[in-house]
DNA sequence: ACCCTATATTAAGCAGGCTTATGAATTTTG
DNA sequence: CAAAATTCATAAGCCTGCTTAATATAGGGT
Protein backbone atom coordinates (compact mmCIF):
# COMPACT_ATOMS: atom_id res chain seq x y z
CA UNK A 1 0.00 0.00 0.00
CA UNK A 2 2.60 2.51 0.97
CA UNK A 3 4.69 2.48 -2.13
CA UNK A 4 5.01 6.22 -1.87
CA UNK A 5 8.47 7.47 -2.60
CA UNK A 6 9.64 4.20 -4.04
CA UNK A 7 11.29 4.21 -7.38
CA UNK A 8 9.29 3.03 -10.30
CA UNK A 9 9.46 -0.56 -11.53
CA UNK A 10 9.20 1.03 -14.96
CA UNK A 11 8.33 -1.87 -17.21
CA UNK A 12 6.01 -4.66 -16.16
CA UNK A 13 4.85 -5.03 -19.74
CA UNK A 14 4.37 -8.75 -19.51
CA UNK A 15 1.47 -8.62 -17.12
CA UNK A 16 -1.31 -6.38 -16.01
CA UNK A 17 -1.87 -6.85 -12.33
CA UNK A 18 -4.84 -4.49 -12.58
CA UNK A 19 -5.35 -4.32 -8.90
CA UNK A 20 -9.08 -3.91 -8.97
CA UNK A 21 -10.53 -0.89 -7.27
CA UNK A 22 -13.32 -1.14 -4.76
CA UNK A 23 -16.78 -1.08 -6.32
CA UNK A 24 -17.18 2.39 -4.87
CA UNK A 25 -14.08 3.73 -6.59
CA UNK A 26 -15.03 1.92 -9.76
CA UNK A 27 -18.41 3.60 -9.71
CA UNK A 28 -16.71 6.98 -9.61
CA UNK A 29 -14.76 6.43 -12.77
CA UNK A 30 -17.65 4.69 -14.50
CA UNK A 31 -20.24 7.36 -13.97
CA UNK A 32 -17.84 10.02 -15.21
CA UNK A 33 -17.01 8.02 -18.30
CA UNK A 34 -20.59 7.13 -19.10
CA UNK A 35 -21.81 10.70 -18.64
CA UNK A 36 -19.01 12.08 -20.80
CA UNK A 37 -19.72 9.63 -23.59
CA UNK A 38 -23.41 10.42 -23.41
CA UNK A 39 -22.68 14.11 -23.59
CA UNK A 40 -20.39 13.72 -26.57
CA UNK A 41 -22.85 11.56 -28.44
CA UNK A 42 -25.80 13.79 -27.66
CA UNK A 43 -23.87 16.87 -28.74
CA UNK A 44 -22.93 15.15 -31.98
CA UNK A 45 -26.51 14.27 -32.73
CA UNK A 46 -27.99 17.57 -31.56
CA UNK A 47 -25.67 19.56 -33.76
CA UNK A 48 -27.91 19.01 -36.76
CA UNK A 49 -30.49 21.07 -34.90
CA UNK A 50 -27.90 23.68 -34.02
CA UNK A 51 -28.16 22.85 -30.35
CA UNK A 52 -26.29 21.06 -27.60
CA UNK A 53 -27.16 18.98 -24.58
CA UNK A 54 -26.66 21.84 -22.14
CA UNK A 55 -28.75 24.28 -24.15
CA UNK A 56 -31.37 21.62 -24.48
CA UNK A 57 -31.61 21.25 -20.71
CA UNK A 58 -32.26 24.97 -20.46
CA UNK A 59 -34.97 24.91 -23.09
CA UNK A 60 -36.47 21.87 -21.45
CA UNK A 61 -36.88 23.66 -18.16
CA UNK A 62 -38.25 26.78 -19.75
CA UNK A 63 -40.78 24.73 -21.63
CA UNK A 64 -42.26 23.69 -18.31
CA UNK A 65 -42.12 27.09 -16.72
CA UNK A 66 -41.27 30.39 -18.31
CA UNK A 67 -40.58 33.69 -16.65
CA UNK A 68 -37.99 32.41 -14.18
CA UNK A 69 -35.10 34.63 -13.23
CA UNK A 70 -31.67 33.42 -14.27
CA UNK A 71 -30.82 32.73 -10.70
CA UNK A 72 -33.87 30.56 -10.13
CA UNK A 73 -33.21 28.59 -13.26
CA UNK A 74 -29.54 28.08 -12.42
CA UNK A 75 -30.55 26.75 -9.03
CA UNK A 76 -33.00 24.39 -10.60
CA UNK A 77 -30.41 23.08 -13.05
CA UNK A 78 -27.80 22.85 -10.27
CA UNK A 79 -25.33 24.96 -12.17
CA UNK A 80 -23.71 28.27 -11.31
CA UNK A 81 -25.46 31.45 -12.44
CA UNK A 82 -22.53 32.45 -14.60
CA UNK A 83 -22.66 29.13 -16.43
CA UNK A 84 -26.30 29.67 -17.20
CA UNK A 85 -25.69 33.26 -18.26
CA UNK A 86 -23.37 32.11 -21.01
CA UNK A 87 -25.76 29.43 -22.17
CA UNK A 88 -28.53 32.00 -22.31
CA UNK A 89 -26.24 34.34 -24.24
CA UNK A 90 -26.02 31.79 -26.98
CA UNK A 91 -29.68 30.85 -26.89
CA UNK A 92 -30.56 34.54 -27.26
CA UNK A 93 -28.18 34.91 -30.18
CA UNK A 94 -29.90 31.94 -31.80
CA UNK A 95 -33.26 33.58 -31.20
CA UNK A 96 -34.67 30.76 -29.08
CA UNK A 97 -34.83 32.57 -25.76
CA UNK A 98 -35.59 36.10 -24.72
CA UNK A 99 -34.47 38.07 -21.66
CA UNK A 100 -37.08 40.46 -20.32
CA UNK A 101 -36.57 42.92 -17.49
CA UNK A 102 -38.48 42.39 -14.30
CA UNK A 103 -41.03 45.08 -13.51
CA UNK A 104 -40.22 45.33 -9.84
CA UNK A 105 -36.54 44.53 -9.54
CA UNK A 106 -34.27 46.05 -12.10
CA UNK A 107 -31.48 43.59 -11.31
CA UNK A 108 -33.32 40.53 -12.51
CA UNK A 109 -33.98 39.36 -16.05
CA UNK A 110 -36.71 36.86 -16.69
CA UNK A 111 -36.44 34.20 -19.36
CA UNK A 112 -38.97 33.32 -22.05
CA UNK A 113 -39.00 31.01 -25.03
CA UNK A 114 -39.55 32.53 -28.44
CA UNK A 115 -41.93 30.89 -30.93
CA UNK A 116 -38.87 29.68 -32.79
CA UNK A 117 -37.98 27.45 -29.83
CA UNK A 118 -40.94 25.12 -30.02
CA UNK A 119 -40.13 23.21 -33.19
CA UNK A 120 -36.57 22.79 -31.95
CA UNK A 121 -37.86 21.41 -28.67
CA UNK A 122 -40.08 18.96 -30.50
CA UNK A 123 -37.19 17.68 -32.60
CA UNK A 124 -34.90 17.40 -29.60
CA UNK A 125 -37.57 15.50 -27.72
CA UNK A 126 -37.70 12.81 -30.37
CA UNK A 127 -33.94 12.70 -30.54
CA UNK A 128 -33.73 12.29 -26.78
CA UNK A 129 -36.08 9.35 -26.76
CA UNK A 130 -34.10 7.68 -29.51
CA UNK A 131 -30.74 8.28 -27.86
CA UNK A 132 -31.80 7.09 -24.45
CA UNK A 133 -33.36 3.96 -25.86
CA UNK A 134 -30.10 3.10 -27.55
CA UNK A 135 -28.09 4.03 -24.49
CA UNK A 136 -30.15 1.85 -22.17
CA UNK A 137 -30.45 -1.11 -24.51
CA UNK A 138 -30.30 -4.31 -22.52
CA UNK A 139 -31.71 -2.84 -19.32
CA UNK A 140 -35.39 -3.43 -18.66
CA UNK A 141 -37.79 -0.81 -17.41
CA UNK A 142 -37.72 -1.87 -13.78
CA UNK A 143 -33.93 -1.73 -13.79
CA UNK A 144 -33.93 1.74 -15.26
CA UNK A 145 -36.39 2.95 -12.67
CA UNK A 146 -34.23 1.51 -9.90
CA UNK A 147 -31.21 3.18 -11.47
CA UNK A 148 -33.00 6.48 -11.45
CA UNK A 149 -33.87 6.18 -7.79
CA UNK A 150 -30.31 5.30 -6.87
CA UNK A 151 -28.80 8.08 -8.95
CA UNK A 152 -31.10 10.49 -7.21
CA UNK A 153 -29.60 9.41 -3.91
CA UNK A 154 -26.13 9.97 -5.34
CA UNK A 155 -27.05 13.38 -6.66
CA UNK A 156 -28.55 14.45 -3.37
CA UNK A 157 -25.48 13.26 -1.48
CA UNK A 158 -23.26 15.29 -3.77
CA UNK A 159 -25.38 18.41 -3.52
CA UNK A 160 -25.11 18.12 0.22
CA UNK A 161 -21.35 17.70 0.10
CA UNK A 162 -20.92 20.70 -2.16
CA UNK A 163 -23.17 22.90 -0.08
CA UNK A 164 -21.42 22.08 3.16
CA UNK A 165 -18.03 22.75 1.64
CA UNK A 166 -19.17 26.09 0.27
CA UNK A 167 -20.60 27.53 3.46
CA UNK A 168 -18.04 26.48 6.05
CA UNK A 169 -14.94 27.30 4.00
CA UNK A 170 -12.59 25.58 6.42
CA UNK A 171 -9.58 27.51 7.66
CA UNK A 172 -7.11 26.87 4.86
CA UNK A 173 -9.40 28.07 2.12
CA UNK A 174 -7.05 30.79 0.97
CA UNK A 175 -3.68 29.16 1.02
CA UNK A 176 -3.27 29.41 -2.74
CA UNK A 177 -4.50 32.78 -3.85
CA UNK A 178 -3.14 34.67 -0.90
CA UNK A 179 -6.19 36.82 -0.45
CA UNK B 1 -47.62 22.35 -30.97
CA UNK B 2 -48.88 25.80 -31.78
CA UNK B 3 -49.02 27.16 -28.33
CA UNK B 4 -46.23 29.40 -29.44
CA UNK B 5 -46.73 33.03 -28.73
CA UNK B 6 -48.92 32.51 -25.75
CA UNK B 7 -47.86 34.52 -22.82
CA UNK B 8 -46.67 32.86 -19.67
CA UNK B 9 -48.32 33.28 -16.28
CA UNK B 10 -44.80 33.95 -15.06
CA UNK B 11 -45.21 33.02 -11.42
CA UNK B 12 -46.88 29.76 -10.53
CA UNK B 13 -44.76 29.46 -7.45
CA UNK B 14 -47.36 27.48 -5.60
CA UNK B 15 -47.18 24.40 -7.79
CA UNK B 16 -44.86 22.67 -10.19
CA UNK B 17 -46.76 20.69 -12.80
CA UNK B 18 -43.46 19.05 -13.78
CA UNK B 19 -44.77 16.81 -16.50
CA UNK B 20 -42.58 13.83 -15.77
CA UNK B 21 -40.24 12.48 -18.41
CA UNK B 22 -39.93 8.80 -19.15
CA UNK B 23 -37.54 7.02 -16.81
CA UNK B 24 -35.17 6.72 -19.76
CA UNK B 25 -35.08 10.45 -20.38
CA UNK B 26 -34.84 11.12 -16.71
CA UNK B 27 -31.82 8.85 -16.49
CA UNK B 28 -30.11 10.92 -19.15
CA UNK B 29 -30.37 14.14 -17.22
CA UNK B 30 -29.63 12.49 -13.90
CA UNK B 31 -26.42 10.80 -14.89
CA UNK B 32 -25.12 14.02 -16.38
CA UNK B 33 -25.99 15.98 -13.28
CA UNK B 34 -24.55 13.43 -10.88
CA UNK B 35 -21.33 13.10 -12.83
CA UNK B 36 -20.90 16.86 -13.08
CA UNK B 37 -21.44 17.34 -9.35
CA UNK B 38 -18.99 14.54 -8.63
CA UNK B 39 -16.41 16.11 -10.89
CA UNK B 40 -16.84 19.53 -9.32
CA UNK B 41 -16.58 18.17 -5.83
CA UNK B 42 -13.60 15.98 -6.63
CA UNK B 43 -11.81 18.86 -8.32
CA UNK B 44 -12.46 21.05 -5.30
CA UNK B 45 -11.03 18.49 -2.94
CA UNK B 46 -8.13 17.47 -5.17
CA UNK B 47 -6.97 21.04 -5.55
CA UNK B 48 -5.17 20.90 -2.24
CA UNK B 49 -2.91 18.33 -3.87
CA UNK B 50 -2.54 20.49 -6.96
CA UNK B 51 -4.35 17.94 -9.06
CA UNK B 52 -7.70 17.40 -10.75
CA UNK B 53 -9.95 14.45 -11.43
CA UNK B 54 -8.87 14.14 -15.04
CA UNK B 55 -5.17 14.27 -14.22
CA UNK B 56 -5.77 11.77 -11.50
CA UNK B 57 -7.29 9.31 -13.94
CA UNK B 58 -4.14 9.59 -16.05
CA UNK B 59 -1.83 8.98 -13.10
CA UNK B 60 -4.01 6.12 -12.00
CA UNK B 61 -3.57 4.32 -15.30
CA UNK B 62 0.11 4.97 -15.44
CA UNK B 63 0.51 3.58 -11.97
CA UNK B 64 -0.70 0.26 -13.28
CA UNK B 65 1.29 0.31 -16.45
CA UNK B 66 3.99 2.71 -17.48
CA UNK B 67 5.60 3.11 -20.89
CA UNK B 68 2.40 3.35 -22.87
CA UNK B 69 2.24 5.62 -25.90
CA UNK B 70 -0.11 8.57 -25.65
CA UNK B 71 -2.37 6.97 -28.19
CA UNK B 72 -2.68 3.74 -26.27
CA UNK B 73 -3.44 5.57 -23.07
CA UNK B 74 -6.02 7.81 -24.72
CA UNK B 75 -7.76 4.72 -26.07
CA UNK B 76 -7.76 3.14 -22.66
CA UNK B 77 -9.24 6.22 -21.04
CA UNK B 78 -11.77 6.60 -23.88
CA UNK B 79 -10.71 10.15 -24.57
CA UNK B 80 -9.28 11.75 -27.70
CA UNK B 81 -5.50 11.83 -28.09
CA UNK B 82 -5.47 15.61 -28.12
CA UNK B 83 -7.33 15.74 -24.83
CA UNK B 84 -4.75 13.47 -23.27
CA UNK B 85 -1.90 15.46 -24.79
CA UNK B 86 -2.97 18.57 -22.96
CA UNK B 87 -3.43 16.74 -19.69
CA UNK B 88 0.05 15.29 -20.06
CA UNK B 89 1.40 18.75 -20.84
CA UNK B 90 0.32 19.92 -17.43
CA UNK B 91 1.42 16.76 -15.63
CA UNK B 92 4.86 17.20 -17.18
CA UNK B 93 4.99 20.84 -16.10
CA UNK B 94 4.14 19.71 -12.59
CA UNK B 95 6.94 17.15 -12.76
CA UNK B 96 4.72 14.13 -12.19
CA UNK B 97 5.00 12.55 -15.60
CA UNK B 98 7.78 12.21 -18.15
CA UNK B 99 7.60 11.83 -21.91
CA UNK B 100 10.35 9.62 -23.33
CA UNK B 101 10.97 9.01 -27.03
CA UNK B 102 10.43 5.55 -28.40
CA UNK B 103 13.56 3.80 -29.61
CA UNK B 104 12.03 2.42 -32.78
CA UNK B 105 9.40 4.94 -33.82
CA UNK B 106 10.30 8.57 -33.55
CA UNK B 107 6.65 9.63 -33.73
CA UNK B 108 5.67 8.07 -30.45
CA UNK B 109 6.33 9.29 -26.95
CA UNK B 110 6.05 6.91 -24.05
CA UNK B 111 4.80 7.98 -20.66
CA UNK B 112 6.39 7.36 -17.28
CA UNK B 113 5.69 8.46 -13.75
CA UNK B 114 8.38 10.38 -11.90
CA UNK B 115 9.20 9.52 -8.29
CA UNK B 116 7.36 12.69 -7.32
CA UNK B 117 4.11 11.14 -8.54
CA UNK B 118 3.87 8.36 -5.98
CA UNK B 119 3.09 10.35 -2.86
CA UNK B 120 0.49 12.30 -4.81
CA UNK B 121 -1.10 9.07 -5.95
CA UNK B 122 -1.22 7.77 -2.42
CA UNK B 123 -2.93 10.92 -1.17
CA UNK B 124 -5.40 10.90 -4.03
CA UNK B 125 -6.18 7.27 -3.35
CA UNK B 126 -7.25 8.03 0.20
CA UNK B 127 -9.21 11.03 -0.95
CA UNK B 128 -11.01 8.94 -3.54
CA UNK B 129 -12.09 6.38 -1.00
CA UNK B 130 -13.39 9.09 1.27
CA UNK B 131 -15.26 10.90 -1.48
CA UNK B 132 -16.91 7.83 -2.90
CA UNK B 133 -18.02 6.66 0.51
CA UNK B 134 -19.74 9.97 1.08
CA UNK B 135 -21.16 9.98 -2.42
CA UNK B 136 -22.64 6.51 -2.12
CA UNK B 137 -23.93 6.93 1.42
CA UNK B 138 -27.22 5.11 1.80
CA UNK B 139 -26.53 2.51 -0.89
CA UNK B 140 -25.35 -0.86 0.30
CA UNK B 141 -22.55 -2.83 -1.25
CA UNK B 142 -24.72 -5.13 -3.31
CA UNK B 143 -26.55 -2.16 -4.77
CA UNK B 144 -23.31 -0.46 -5.71
CA UNK B 145 -22.06 -3.59 -7.41
CA UNK B 146 -25.29 -3.83 -9.37
CA UNK B 147 -24.96 -0.18 -10.32
CA UNK B 148 -21.47 -0.80 -11.58
CA UNK B 149 -22.62 -3.68 -13.74
CA UNK B 150 -25.44 -1.63 -15.21
CA UNK B 151 -23.30 1.41 -15.84
CA UNK B 152 -20.87 -0.82 -17.68
CA UNK B 153 -23.67 -1.81 -20.00
CA UNK B 154 -24.50 1.84 -20.55
CA UNK B 155 -20.89 2.73 -21.23
CA UNK B 156 -20.49 -0.09 -23.72
CA UNK B 157 -23.68 0.92 -25.50
CA UNK B 158 -22.40 4.47 -25.82
CA UNK B 159 -18.97 3.42 -27.05
CA UNK B 160 -20.70 1.39 -29.73
CA UNK B 161 -22.91 4.30 -30.75
CA UNK B 162 -19.95 6.66 -30.98
CA UNK B 163 -17.83 4.25 -32.96
CA UNK B 164 -20.55 3.61 -35.50
CA UNK B 165 -21.09 7.32 -35.93
CA UNK B 166 -17.41 7.97 -36.55
CA UNK B 167 -17.35 6.76 -40.13
CA UNK B 168 -13.94 8.14 -40.91
CA UNK B 169 -12.38 6.47 -37.90
CA UNK B 170 -12.98 2.74 -38.18
CA UNK B 171 -9.74 2.09 -36.36
CA UNK B 172 -10.64 -0.89 -34.27
CA UNK B 173 -7.24 -1.05 -32.72
CA UNK B 174 -7.78 -3.77 -30.22
CA UNK B 175 -5.33 -3.18 -27.49
CA UNK B 176 -5.98 -6.20 -25.39
CA UNK B 177 -4.62 -4.48 -22.39
CA UNK B 178 -7.01 -5.80 -19.90
CA UNK B 179 -9.50 -3.40 -18.45
C1' DA C 1 14.15 5.43 -54.83
C1' DC C 2 9.51 7.74 -54.88
C1' DC C 3 4.97 8.69 -54.05
C1' DC C 4 0.94 7.73 -51.26
C1' DT C 5 -1.37 6.45 -47.41
C1' DA C 6 -1.66 5.65 -42.55
C1' DT C 7 -0.48 6.83 -37.83
C1' DA C 8 1.24 9.70 -33.57
C1' DT C 9 1.29 13.94 -31.82
C1' DT C 10 0.07 18.66 -31.53
C1' DA C 11 -2.27 23.32 -32.79
C1' DA C 12 -6.47 26.11 -33.16
C1' DG C 13 -10.74 27.05 -31.70
C1' DC C 14 -15.34 26.09 -29.53
C1' DA C 15 -18.54 24.50 -25.55
C1' DG C 16 -19.62 24.17 -20.92
C1' DG C 17 -18.33 23.59 -16.29
C1' DC C 18 -15.93 26.07 -12.43
C1' DT C 19 -13.81 30.04 -9.21
C1' DT C 20 -13.15 34.71 -8.23
C1' DA C 21 -14.31 39.40 -8.69
C1' DT C 22 -17.16 43.54 -10.09
C1' DG C 23 -21.10 46.81 -10.98
C1' DA C 24 -25.68 47.88 -10.18
C1' DA C 25 -29.72 47.57 -7.46
C1' DT C 26 -32.19 46.17 -3.53
C1' DT C 27 -32.76 45.34 1.39
C1' DT C 28 -31.38 45.71 6.06
C1' DT C 29 -29.65 48.17 9.82
C1' DG C 30 -28.08 51.91 12.69
C1' DC D 1 -32.33 58.68 5.78
C1' DA D 2 -27.51 57.00 4.97
C1' DA D 3 -24.35 53.23 5.25
C1' DA D 4 -23.64 48.43 5.08
C1' DA D 5 -24.73 43.99 3.52
C1' DT D 6 -26.82 41.11 0.22
C1' DT D 7 -28.28 39.72 -4.33
C1' DC D 8 -28.47 39.48 -9.56
C1' DA D 9 -26.18 39.34 -13.54
C1' DT D 10 -21.86 39.06 -15.77
C1' DA D 11 -16.66 39.56 -16.93
C1' DA D 12 -12.14 37.25 -16.76
C1' DG D 13 -9.67 33.31 -16.68
C1' DC D 14 -8.90 28.24 -15.96
C1' DC D 15 -9.78 23.10 -17.00
C1' DT D 16 -11.39 19.38 -19.86
C1' DG D 17 -13.88 17.65 -23.37
C1' DC D 18 -14.62 17.87 -28.49
C1' DT D 19 -13.80 18.67 -33.86
C1' DT D 20 -10.88 19.80 -37.49
C1' DA D 21 -6.52 20.34 -39.37
C1' DA D 22 -1.40 20.56 -39.51
C1' DT D 23 3.05 18.21 -38.94
C1' DA D 24 6.37 14.56 -38.88
C1' DT D 25 7.38 9.92 -39.36
C1' DA D 26 6.64 5.00 -40.99
C1' DG D 27 5.60 1.80 -44.35
C1' DG D 28 3.92 -0.17 -48.71
C1' DG D 29 3.56 -0.49 -53.77
C1' DT D 30 5.33 0.30 -58.01
Cβ atoms of B117 and A9 within 8 Å: the answer is no
The CATH architecture one would assign to domain A46-159 is Orthogonal Bundle (1.10)
In degrees, rounded to 5, the angle at the alpha carbon of residue A98 between the alpha carbons of residues A94 and A103 is 165
Specify the DSSP class assigned to residue A177.
Answer: T
Least Cα separation, residue B81 to chain A (angstroms): 15
The third-level CATH classification (topology) of the domain covering B50-164 is Arc Repressor Mutant, subunit A (1.10.10)
Residue B171 CA, nucleotide D30 C1', distance (Å): 26
A4: contact with B, CB 8 A cutoff: yes
Q: Is A4 exposed, middle or buried (0-12, 13-18, 19+ CB in 10 A)?
A: middle
Contacting residues of A for B61, CB less than 8 Å apart: none
* pLDDT tens profile A76-133: 999 999 999 999 999 999 999 999 999 999 999 999 999 999 999 999 999 999 999 9
B178 pLDDT above the threshold of 70: no
A102-111, A114-123, A145-154, B170-179: least confident range = B170-179
What letters, b where the CB count within 10 A reaches 16 and e where it falls short, cover B50-75?
Answer: ebbbbbbbbbbbbbbbbbbbbbbbbb
Whole-model pTM above 0.85? no
What letters, b where the CB count within 10 A reaches 16 and e where it falls short, cover B22-33?
Answer: ebbbbbbbbbbb
**Whole-number percent of chain A with pLDDT over 90:** 77
Alpha-helical runs (H) found in A13-80: 23-46, 53-64, 70-77
Enumerate the nucleotides of strand D whose atoms come under 7 Å of any protein CB.
Answer: 7-13, 15-21, 24-27
Amino acid sequence: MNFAGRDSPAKPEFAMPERSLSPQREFGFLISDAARLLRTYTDQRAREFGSTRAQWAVLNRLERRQGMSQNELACMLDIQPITLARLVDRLCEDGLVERRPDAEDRRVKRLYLTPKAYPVLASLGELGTEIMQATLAGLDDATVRALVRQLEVVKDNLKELLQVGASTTPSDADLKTGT
